[in-house]
Amino acid sequence: MTIILGIESSCDETAVALVTSEREILSHKLATQEDAHRPYGGVVPEIAARAHAEKIAPLVEAALADAGLALAEVDAIAATAGPGLIGGVMVGLVTGKALAHGAGKPLVAVNHLEGHALSARLTDPDLQFPYLLLLVSGGHCQLLAVEGVGRYRRLATTIDDAAGEAFDKTAKLLGLGFPGGPAVEAAAREGDPTAVPLPRPLLGSPEPHFSFAGLKSAVMRAAQSGDYQTNDIAASFQQAVVDCLVDRTDKALKGLDFAPSALVMAGGVAANAIIRTALQRLSADHGLAFVAPPLWLCTDNGAMIAWAGGERFAAGLTDPLDIAARPRWPLDTAADSVRGAGVKA
């Protein structure tokens, strides 16, 4: 059995966890920055970096204390090396490097997206490669063939905004607060998902890519019109996102060139209960198992980085101490750019 210490600092959560190769989460600590960013309606990179610098060392100490472990008992140090807000990523990665050097342990630089991609395997021992992954978060919306540790094929991506970004911007437009995902979901529970006619961008298009910019603009027009209740706009927006995700994932499933063991959903948006239920139904329609990590593992956390680091470590993949943090780092580096897509794809 190996024990991995994982560090996550790519956005607005500072997190540290200790996870074993036997899937035991020995401890997990998280310091959220939501209160610091709320007045700005979104994550401010410099505020995030300052908070990570303040919180990260105490969290490492607390995680070790909670697990009753000394650093010497850890087998490897895993830290997010990107993609993300570079100031925060650097703080976490340098902390990981210094812990690794100081304790004489290997360093594993983890792609944050790989953390999400493999997180379902932390809680589901039966999940085997390959599987189809719908990765939906504030920065990404992709369908990936997960063929093994470090082996990812991007099948589809957003050509503009990520789904989570659309949630955040909708919450901001509607004055629902921050973070946007839970705020929109809560408002949507009180609204009518059929009340506002909103577009479903790319619905039915031959390639399973995503688009949410037009939906966001339509939400803005609906809000400005004064014709609709906020809760109804939230519910209609959420339903539009559900319809897009289901249609695009269905398109991908029908065109797969491999037999997936399951449909896996991960990333912060996977914490949305309506979206989760819809994708679960789609999986059942295709006779596929549906796997999604528990809600706390969908949003950013240290356990998924520790687990992904452990999977890489077990595969003999470690990194040198001079490895650079990367603001952009696609999981599938060989994927072509998508027509109409900006740098986000």
Partner 1 sequence: MRRLVIETATEALSLALFEDGVLLDSYDAVIGRGHAEQLVPRIAELPDGGRADEIHVDLGPGSFTGVRIGIAAARALAIAWGAEVLGFETSSLVAATARALDRDLAGQALLVVMEGGHGEWLATPIAPTATPAATRSLLPAEAIAFDHEVVVGSRATEFVALRGSGRACPLHPSARYADMIDGMLLGTKLAPLYARAPDATPMAKPTLGHEGPSA
Binding site for partner 1 (CB under 8 A): 11-12, 39-50, 52-54, 56-57, 60-61, 64, 71, 85, 87, 90-91, 93-99, 101-103, 138-139, 168, 172-175, 217, 220, 223-224, 320-325
Q: What is the largest CA-CA distance in the chain?
A: 63
CB of 91 to partner 1, least distance (A): 5
The CB-of-31 to partner 1 minimum distance in angstroms stands at 15
Residue 267 annotated in ligand binding: no
CB of residue 213 to partner 1, shortest distance in Å: 12
Q: Is the dihedral of CA 123, 129, 133, 139 positive or negative?
A: positive
The distance of closest approach from Cβ of residue 26 to partner 1 in the complex, given in angstroms and rounded to an integer, is 17
Q: Is 150 annotated as a binding residue?
A: no
| Cα–Cα distance for residue pair 89/323, rounded to 1 Å | 12
Long-range contacts of 65-72 (CB under 8 A, 24+ apart): 66/18, 66/26, 66/27, 66/29, 67/18, 67/26, 67/27, 69/3, 69/18, 69/26, 71/5, 71/99, 71/102, 71/103, 71/105, 72/103
Taking the least distance from each CB to partner 1, the nearer of 79 and 291 is 79
161 marked as part of a ligand binding site: no
| Closest to 249 in 3D by CA, of 155, 342, 341, 323 | 155
Amino acid at residue number 85: L
To partner 1, the closest distance from the beta carbon of 102 in angstroms equals 3
3-state DSSP helix/strand/coil percent for the chain, to nearest 5? 45, 20, 35
The reply, when asked if residue 181 is annotated as ligand binding, is: yes
Cα–Cα distance between 272 and 62 in angstroms, integer?
A: 30
Nearest approach, Cβ of 156 to partner 1 (angstroms)? 22
Instruction: Return the number of the residue (149 or 298) whose C-beta is nearest partner 1.
Output: 298
Closest by alpha carbon to 239, among 272, 281, 283?
A: 272
Between 278 and 305, whose beta carbon lies closer to partner 1? 305
Confirm whether residue 12 is marked as ligand binding.
no
User: Cβ distance 82 to 328 under 8 Å?
Assistant: yes
**Residue with Cβ nearer partner 1 (44 or 274):** 44
- C-alpha–C-alpha distance, residues 80 and 308, integer Å: 10
Would you say 136 is a known binding-site residue? yes
Nearer to partner 1, 70 or 295 (CB): 70
In the bound state with partner 1, the residue whose beta carbon lies nearer, of 44 and 203, is: 44
| Residue 87 in marked binding region | no
Q: Which lies closer to partner 1 via its Cβ, residue 95 or residue 283?
A: 95
CA distance 155 to 158: 11
For 80, the 3-state DSSP assignment is strand
Q: Is 231 annotated as a binding residue?
A: no
Residue 116 among known ligand-binding residues:
yes
88 is in an annotated binding site: no
- Collapse the DSSP code of 133 into the 3-class scheme (helix H, G, I; strand E, B; otherwise coil) and give the result: strand
Any bridge partners for residue 255, and if so which? none
Which is closer to partner 1, CB of 196 or CB of 291? Answer: 196
Question: Sheet of 25-32: strands edge to edge?
Answer: 25-32, 13-20, 3-8, 76-82, 107-111
Rounded to an integer, what distance in angstroms lies between the CA atom of residue 171 and that of residue 78?
33
Which parts are annotated binding residues for substrate? Answer: 135-139, 168, 181, 185, 272
User: Residue positions in the annotated binding site for Fe cation?
Assistant: 112, 116, 300
